[in-house]
Structure formats: C-alpha cells, structure tokens
C-alpha cells in the first residue's frame, strides 16, 4: 500500500510538471525536494583526498591516497571529482528549458522513478555501502571489454542519462548531466544499484538545485532498474573489479592506460620522476609549487601531468606501500655483453645515409607535382575539400569522425593532412629547427640519429576516408607538404626512416583475413603495423658499423601470440548517440620474452634508445604489454633497446632523456626519435628549443 501511495504521489507530481511544461516550459523549483537526510562526508573508506585546499573547479593539483589498489579504487581515485576532466561551459548554447519528461521517460527510463532523491542520506544505502563508491564511466568501459553484451545495458544507461536535455536545446556535443558514481546496496531480496547523477555547473536547470557536498556540481541519487543488472556482471565486479588487488606491475599498467586514454582530451602524460624521491621536483611549474603551500610528497606512486585547458594540472596517486610505478627499467650493463658505447664520443665515426631518401622524395615530387610542391598540392585540392567538409560536419569538440567500414579517424590527424606548408607555421609550431638542432647536438656527442615520423591512419587508409571507390594499389598521398618537410630535413642532414611508402605498399598487398595496419577504432597501429615499423628500423640499424659488435653475442628472444580486447580510444570521442555500433574488438599481439621465459623489459643501459609517444607505449606498456615496437625492435636486433616515451609528448619527449644527464646520453650510439606525424602540424604545445631542455 505504501508503495502504491508513493507511486500515486509521484504520478501526481509529474502531471503538474507536465502541465507546467505545456503552459510555458520551465518550473523554477527543483522537482524532488531539498530536504536532506543525514549528512555524510564525501569519498570512500579506501580512497582519500589529501588536504591541499583542493577545489574541483579551479585547483591545479589533486592528490589521492589509495589504501587498497583494486581497479575499482584506482579508477575512483582518478575519476571522482577530478579537475583534470572538467569540461568548460559550451559557448553559444542556451540553458535547458527545464521541461520534465514523463516519469517513465526521464533519463530514458533507466531509473526507478520513485527512487530519485536529492540527498544520499535519503537513500537506503548503509554507512559501509556509502563508503564503497565506484566511478561509473571507467567501470562500464572495463565491463564492455570483458563482456560487451552483458555490459551493454549499463552502456545504454550511461548514454540515456547523458542524453537527457530537459526539453531544451539538443546538441551532439552538449551533456547536461551524467552518472558519476555507483553504489551497491544489499536490499535483502537481492542487490540494488544506486547511482549518483551530477549536473554540470553551468546548467542551472532549476533555481534551487541540490549540491550536498558543495563542490559546485548539483547532484541527485536514484536506483537503476533491476532489469539492467546481470548476475554475472555483479559477480565480476565483486570478484575482479573491486576484489582483486593489483601488484606494482598492475598499478603501472593501469597508470599507463589512464594517461594514454586521457591524452586525446586532456594532453596527459606520466611524469618521469627520474630518480627523484620527492615531488614537486625542481622543474615543477612555480605556480604549482605555490599552490601546494610547502607540501611535499615522498615517493609518489604515480604522477600524471596534463594540460587540458592551457595550464598544467597534476594528479598524484599515493598507493600504500608502493613507490613510483612509472620508473623506467634501469639495469646495469651486463658484463657478458659487448659494450658498443665505449670510447671517446668526439672521435666516433657517424654514418648518415641520405641519398636513398632524397631520391625517393625527388621521384615523388616529379611524378606527382612536376617538380613543384605547390602544383602537387593543387592536384589534390579536391580531396582536401572533401576532408574539410568532413571536419566541418561535426563540432570541433567531437574529436572522432566516422569513415567507411567501421573506421574512425582522429580530428587532429585530418587537420595535419590539410594543414598546408609545415614550414609556414609560427615559430613555436614549426618543427624544422628543433629537429635539426637535436640532430646536430647528438652529432656533437658522437651519437647517430634517426627520425621516424609515424604516418596517420588517414594517410594510409585514404579509401576509408574519402568519398568514392579507390584502388588500394593507387591510393593518393594526401599531404604533399609532409613529404616536403622530410625533403627539407634530409637536405639538412637528418636521416629519416620513411614509413609511409612501405605502409602504403603493405596496405595494397593486404590479403583477406590479414590484420589491418591500424586499429579501426583507435588512433594507434596494430601488431602488424608496429612489427612492420620495427623491421624497417632494424634493417637500417644493422647497417651501422658499430652494430657488428652488438651482434657478436645475440640474445635469443622469443615471441608468443596473445589475444585481447580493446574498445579503441576514438569511440569515446564520438557524439554520444554515435557510439552504440562500435563494440570492443579482438586484437592480436606478440609478447616478447627473454631466453629464460621472463617478459622482455626495455633496458636503460642499452646503447640504442627509442624516443617516442603513445605509438611506442601501446602494446609495450598498455594493452597486452611487452609486445610493442621497442620489444620487436629488440627481437629483430637480438639485443635490448632503451625506451623513453611520453604519451602525447613525442615532440618534447627529449626532456625525459636529457634529464638523465649529458654524460649518460653520450654513452648512446643511436637515438631513434619516432612520433605521430600529425604532431608536425599545430602541436598542442610549442616545439621547445634544445636550450630549454639542457637547463
């Protein structure tokens, strides 16, 4: 009877609300009442926030403690009320009209209507249950990779809540609210799932919206409909997601995946402590140090630096009993291995092969543009027009654009393709001088240098991007000015391992059933793509005179085929209603192992160092791990290599290497600098001059 009366009262309330909507659309008072229940502090019993005066909408540093490093606790520490993920108010958008849909239709009907409350104290959650929240978005992502079909109802719930516009203006890039936290409640006759829905600060749908925790984000609570919950999902959460404690390697993998996943939106990277025992380090921005008011943190487990809105932000994660989880593998040189780094660096003979690359580029220029870069660019003006049209088809906030056959493309990569002459960019965006200076600096130390720009997916799969039908053996080169920059660098003495012609050839030769060179739903390459790149680099390295000494005692690495699932980093960058067709994909990797069957690890003592961005991190530090381009380069060379990588910082990754000191760098024989070619155009930071890095 009580339930029936409650439902009748709820229905009556909505009848009044609908009438108000029809009369003018926009009740001024919050519809669920603001009478709070018993007040409870925010957070969780196993995740804490260090007192640094943190404010969700404006702080520059967030420090979280994790008592028990489960995936659930780590994700909550990263996603709960984090200034890093704050989305600014969209411009030119009118507020929602505050029309209340029918009770069954609100938020797409995913909540039990009478369960909606303005305070967590009005919910049936016990104190222990309130202290065990989970971040909803990363949980759904993890579940989708585990079992997409069983997780699909929760994915739908996330989309439904994000899509509610309250009768106001609808736009594919606007989200008024979203589910942020999930609570499990034991109701006696089965578990209930309660969620916290937070509203963006700029919405202000009603004049008196509740903000119980005072963080500027109004919130409500409600119960997800039981039909959305699968018992196997519940078991997976309790036993794996919230039950399994991660070791040091697991926390390191989590941190790498987080920084990589966040990068396209927030320009994040794992900060290299470089042996420092406390943070902030001396290189930390003065305004960040000032904001900490003298606080220092010993041996932070993970430090992530981002620059989502033009200013540096930091996340620190302090896991009980764990020191830095991002520290690169540092090994002492094996006395049994030949050391190619010995000798006076100033007397070393450098080997630079420029003729073959110059010949290839000159041939292309003559064939495509009759000897003129401008004419070549004019020849493909129609293709660029089609790409511009695709870019304009979605708001600039939407970073992923759909192509043919399930292919997704990254907006920044398309901008690079149509960006024009790269040398005509402003000084801080023009990469030419920085690359040449770095080559000259290394030459002064007696260190060989290879530049390896990684082609964009749009360059290799033009047929999946452009309208019409294309033969894969005659795909156009979409960015003549990218080729022009390589020609100019080659003339300046920079040796390039040019992947684009080889990737286009491999694209044309692909047989049915072969893996693509790039993941269709991700910005990065596949196992096939990275192995092709590592093979091309290994061919060049074996021609250096000093390689013979390394090859004298080869290491018998092995590779093992592994499979895994990935949703791809571009799916989450689609408009909300465009995501549904893209399911997690089955991918293949080849994990490299040592002769004793232990996992291969990059060796900081190696005379060969790979400097790179996320293309060097995927498969090596994320996904299946120990199966990336550096591992496969070591497999090809039968000798370990060093990897220094930065997820979105390929152009400025040199900072991590140079922080080791010039004496350490002088011991290297070869530096391979590889990064996504898209960063040659309008990189989100400036290409910092070498002098900055040497300070």
* 531 lies in the same domain as 657: yes
Average pLDDT over residues 541-570: 95
* 458 lies in the same domain as 509: yes
* 459 lies in the same domain as 508: yes
* 416 lies in the same domain as 303: no
* 547 lies in the same domain as 398: yes
Average pLDDT over residues 116-126: 91
Residue 8 falls inside a structural domain: no
Flag the least confident range among 105-119, 124-138, 166-180, 327-341. Answer: 327-341
CA distances from residue 316 to 82, 87, 257, 292, 311 in whole angstroms, order as listed? 11, 20, 15, 12, 17
Average pLDDT over residues 172-195: 88
Residue 449 falls inside a structural domain: yes
Cα 40 from Cα 240, distance rounded (Å): 28
Does pLDDT of 383 surpass 80?
Answer: yes
Q: What pLDDT does residue 688 have?
A: 87
* 504 lies in the same domain as 420: yes
The residue range of the domain holding 367 is: 355-555+643-694
* 67 lies in the same domain as 194: no
Q: Of 180, 203, 230, which residue is a domain's last?
A: 230
The proportion of the chain whose per-residue pLDDT surpasses 70, expressed as a percent, equals: 87
Average pLDDT over residues 534-555: 96
pTM of this structure:
0.84
360 contacts: CB under 8 Å, gap ≥ 6: 498, 501
Burial class (CB in 10 A: 0-12, 13-18, 19+), 139: buried
Does pLDDT of 17 surpass 90?
Answer: no
* 513 lies in the same domain as 372: yes
* 120 lies in the same domain as 225: yes
Residue 172 falls inside a structural domain: yes
Average pLDDT over residues 102-109: 81
Flag the least confident range among 274-278, 387-391, 514-518. Answer: 274-278
Residue 132 falls inside a structural domain: yes
Cα 56 from Cα 416, distance rounded (Å): 34
Strands (E), 6-75: 47-49, 61-66
Residue 345 falls inside a structural domain: no
* 469 lies in the same domain as 509: yes
Flag the least confident range among 160-174, 213-227, 285-299, 460-474. Answer: 160-174
Average pLDDT over residues 438-462: 97
Residue 339 falls inside a structural domain: no
Does pLDDT of 134 surpass 50?
Answer: yes
**What are 151-182's pLDDT values in tens digits?**
999 999 999 999 888 876 666 767 889 999 99
* 135 lies in the same domain as 192: yes
Q: What is the mean pLDDT of the chain?
A: 88
Rg (CA), the chain: 27
Q: What pLDDT does residue 19 have?
A: 39
Residue 163 falls inside a structural domain: yes
Does pLDDT of 24 surpass 80?
Answer: no
Average pLDDT over residues 388-392: 96
Q: Of 283, 309, 327, which residue is a domain's last?
A: 327
* 187 lies in the same domain as 299: no
Q: Give the count of domains, the chain.
A: 3
Average pLDDT over residues 477-506: 97
Does pLDDT of 237 surpass 50?
Answer: yes
Q: What pLDDT does residue 340 have?
A: 54
Closest to 365 in 3D by CA, of 280, 482, 250: 482
Residue 649 falls inside a structural domain: yes
């Amino acid at each position: 009877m009580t339930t029936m009366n409650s439902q009748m009262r709820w229905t009556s309330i909505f009848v009044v609300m609908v009438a108000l909507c029809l009369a003018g659309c926009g009740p001024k008072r919050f519809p669920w009442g603001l009478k709070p229940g018993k007040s409870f502090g925010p957070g969780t019993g196993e995740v804490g926030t260090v007192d640094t005066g943190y404010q969700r909408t404006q702080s520059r540093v967030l420090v979280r403690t994790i008592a028990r490093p489960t995936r659930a606790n780590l994700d909550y520490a990263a996603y709960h009320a984090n200034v890093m993920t704050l989305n600014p108010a969209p411009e030119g958008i009118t507020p929602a009209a505050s029309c209340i849909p029918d009770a069954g239709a609100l938020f797409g009907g995913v909540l039990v209507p009478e369960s909606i409350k303005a305070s967590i104290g009005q919910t049936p959650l016990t104190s222990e249950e309130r202290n065990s929240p989970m971040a909803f978005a990363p949980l759904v992502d993890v579940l989708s990779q585990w079992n997409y079909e069983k997780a699909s109802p929760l994915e739908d719930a996330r989309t439904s809540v994000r899509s509610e516009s309250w009768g106001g203006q609808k736009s594919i890039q606007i989200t008024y609210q979203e589910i942020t936290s999930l609570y499990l409640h034991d109701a006696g006759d089965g578990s209930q799932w309660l969620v916290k829905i937070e509203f963006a600060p700029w919405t202000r749908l009603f004049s008196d919206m509740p903000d119980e925790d005072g963080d500027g984000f109004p919130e409500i609570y409600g119960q997800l409909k039981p039909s959305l919950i699968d018992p196997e999902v519940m078991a997976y959460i309790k036993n794996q997601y919230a039950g399994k404690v991660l070791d040091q390697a697991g926390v390191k993998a989590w941190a790498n995946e987080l920084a990589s996943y966040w990068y396209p939106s927030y320009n994040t990277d794992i900060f290299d402590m470089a042996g420092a025992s406390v943070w902030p380090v001396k290189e930390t921005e003065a305004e960040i140090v000032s904001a900490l008011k003298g606080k220092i943190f010993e041996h932070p487990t993970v430090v992530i630096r981002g620059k989502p809105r033009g200013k540096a932000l930091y996340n620190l994660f302090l896991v009980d009993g764990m020191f830095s989880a991002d520290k690169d593998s540092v090994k002492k040189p094996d006395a049994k291995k030949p050391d190619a780094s010995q000798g006076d660096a100033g007397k070393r003979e450098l080997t630079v092969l420029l003729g073959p690359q110059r010949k290839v580029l000159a041939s292309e220029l003559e064939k495509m543009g009759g000897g003129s870069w401008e004419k070549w660019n004019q020849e493909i003006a129609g293709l660029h027009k089609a790409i511009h049209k695709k870019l304009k088809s979605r708001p600039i906030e939407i970073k992923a654009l759909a192509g043919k056959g399930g292919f997704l493309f990254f907006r920044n990569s398309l901008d690079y393709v149509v960006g024009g002459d790269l040398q005509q960019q402003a000084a801080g965006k023009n990469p030419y001088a920085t690359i040449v200076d770095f080559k000259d600096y290394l030459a002064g130390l007696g260190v060989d240098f290879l530049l390896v720009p990684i082609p964009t997916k749009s360059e290799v799969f033009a047929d999946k991007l452009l309208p019409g039908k294309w033969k894969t053996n005659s795909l156009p080169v979409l960015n003549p000015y990218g080729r022009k920059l390589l020609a100019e660098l080659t003339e300046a003495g920079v040796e390039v391992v040019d992947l684009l012609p080889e990737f286009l050839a491999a694209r044309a030769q692909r047989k049915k059933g072969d893996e693509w060179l790039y993941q269709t739903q991700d910005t990065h390459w596949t196992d096939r793509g990275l192995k092709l790149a590592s093979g091309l680099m290994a061919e060049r390295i074996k021609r250096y005179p000093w390689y013979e000494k390394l090859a004298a005692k080869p290491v018998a690495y092995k590779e093992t085929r592994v499979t895994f699932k990935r949703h791809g980093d571009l799916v989450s960058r689609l408009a909300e209603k465009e995501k549904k067709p893209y399911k997690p994909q089955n991918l293949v990797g080849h994990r490299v192992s040592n002769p004793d069957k232990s996992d291969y690890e990059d060796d900081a003592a190696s005379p060969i160092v790979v400097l790179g961005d996320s293309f060097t991190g995927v498969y090596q530090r994320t996904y299946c791990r120990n199966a990336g381009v550096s591992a496969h380069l070591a497999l090809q060379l039968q000798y370990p290599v060093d990897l220094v990588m930065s997820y979105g910082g390929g152009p400025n990754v040199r900072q991590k290497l140079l922080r080791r000191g010039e004496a350490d760098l002088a011991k290297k024989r070869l530096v391979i600098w590889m990064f996504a070619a898209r960063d040659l155009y309008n990189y989100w930071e400036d290409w910092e001059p070498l002098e900055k890095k040497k300070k």
